[in-house]
Amino acid sequence: MLGVGRICAPSARDRTGRAAAILASDPSHHGFFWLRVDLHCHSNASDGELAPADLLGLLAADGVELAAITDHDTFDGWASLSPEAKSASGCRLLPGIEFSSCYQNRECHVVGLGFDPGHPGILAAVDSQNRRRHERARQLAARLEWLGIPGALDAALLHAGGAAPGRPHFARFLVESGRVRDAEEAFDRYLGEGKPAACPVVWPHLEEVAGWIRSAGGVAVLAHPLVYSFARTRSKLRSLIATFRECGGGAVEVAMAGASPERVAQLGKLVAASGLRASAGSDFHAMAQHWRRPCRVPALPAGLEPVWTEWT
């Protein structure tokens, strides 16, 4: 059962008042709990809709006090904001990123928070991830061309605006060129796993990715564990969390958008038993995804240590 008005068990930081304010939740927003913390959202530096400054404005307007822009394999969005813009917004922004990694031959995402953005290891990691993304984009475009759909790479590069193009950018091209009705159909017919234009990337192992973040002084967070098809059962989810901990992971995203309270409660118990801390993130990408607005995530179940007490 999720509490109303609190999102986690009281901690020493709660008693200081500052953390208590950040932990306040308001259940009046369409049945969601409104955290003042959102440590997972995307700008147009990867596949999000909003420019970093607009995203920061939205976070601040939504009352978020602590946030991280966690673009895929880049922190260019965060870096593009001036210190003045960051401090004027009233929303504290941590350096953030969402790395793609590999767990049991499947893609698994790891959010990095609070790292040193000038650390040579993290810069080299961003570079190598981007090389993988560009290579995948070239292969994907070649497959589309073989299927009779030319021009995909140039269009995807344009949509990506200087970032490495991802599948959503190709989906946009397929929609705009009239090949499919919407992005969902683009994935169903061409881009999704096992479809004719799908090009799996061999991402580095979870341990290597968590190591990059830790070496740069950050916390590695297992992103949206309830969306993985390879971790649908309780025992598979438990093994994923245990492996993540062994690999140097520090926290698991427990308060996530789109998950039922029952699944969040189950995940919370597994995370509490693992000794890892808990994070919260909407994985916001675009305004049309009304279920993924910043901070609109379920409350943290009781008994979990929020990862953000480190920065509040």
Phi/psi of residue 92, nearest 5 degrees: -80, 130
Total of residues contacting Zn ion (CB under 5 A):
4
Place of tokens 């929020």: 306
Nearer Cβ to Zn ion, position 110 or 299?
A: 110
Comparing CA positions, the residue from 273, 281, 275 lying closest to residue 300 is 281
Place of tokens 């789109």: 258
CB of 46 to Zn ion, least distance (A): 8
Site string for Zn ion, 204-243 (x = CB under 5 A): -------------------x--------------------
38, 98, 253, 305: which one contacts Zn ion (CB under 5 A)? 98
- Structure token digits, residue 224: 């949206």
Alpha-carbon distance values, 107 to 5, 6, 230 (Å):
36, 33, 10
Place of tokens 């021009």: 151
Q: Which of the ranges 16-24, 97-105, 142-150, 233-241 carries the binding residues for Zn ion, by CB under 5 A?
A: 97-105
CB of 12 to Zn ion, least distance (A): 31
Site string for Zn ion, 31-50 (x = CB under 5 A): --------------------
If phi > 0 it is left, if psi is from -120 to 50 it is alpha, else beta; for residue 246 that is alpha
In this chain, which residue has its C-beta nearest to Zn ion?
109
Q: Which of the ranges 25-33, 94-102, 229-237, 298-306 carries the binding residues for Zn ion, by CB under 5 A?
A: 94-102
Site string for Zn ion, 277-296 (x = CB under 5 A): ------x-------------
- Structure token digits, residue 202: 């061999």
Tally: H helices and E strands in the chain: 11, 10
CB of 109 to Zn ion, least distance (A): 4
CA angle 170, 173, 177 (to 5 degrees): 145
Sheet of 106-113: strands edge to edge? 96-103, 106-113, 219-222, 251-256, 277-281
Q: Is 109 in the site for Zn ion (CB under 5 A)?
A: yes
Nearer Cβ to Zn ion, position 144 or 213?
A: 213
Give the footprint of Zn ion on this chain (CB under 5 A).
98, 109, 223, 283
